[in-house]
Amino acid sequence: MLSLEIVSPEGHLYKGNVTSVTVPGVNGEFQMLDHHANIVSVLAKGSIKIAVADFKSAAFSPRFTKSDKDQKFLLPIDSGTLELKDNKIIILVD
């Protein structure tokens, strides 16, 4: 399972385990799953999409919305930076 941490200037927006994360990269949207290769990327304006196994116990910032269509949480961002290393994703967002 992937470990995800999303940080903004206001503080931590999310910290916990997730099934998958889809982000708006500057060259297009891409998804990260368990055991994805290490990566560093700049993020563009769009939405971070997070799939969490247990939605009921997941604690999210009020900035997130839940998509009933595909059961993912969405976080709109203007830009950001992402690092994935050793199954841990850290995303810094504006």
What pLDDT score does 50 carry?
94
- Which helix or strand (DSSP H or E) is residue 93 part of? strand 88-93
Q: Per the structure block, which two tokens stand in for 22? A: 């889809």
What pLDDT score does 19 carry?
94
Could you give the domains of the chain? Answer: 2-93 (2.60.15.10)
If you compute the radius of gyration of the chain from its CA atoms, what whole number of angstroms results?
Answer: 12
What pLDDT score does 43 carry?
98
pLDDT digits (tens, 9 = 90+) for 11-26: 889 998 999 999 999 9
What pLDDT score does 55 carry?
58
pLDDT digits (tens, 9 = 90+) for 43-87: 999 999 999 877 555 667 788 888 877 779 999 999 999 999 999
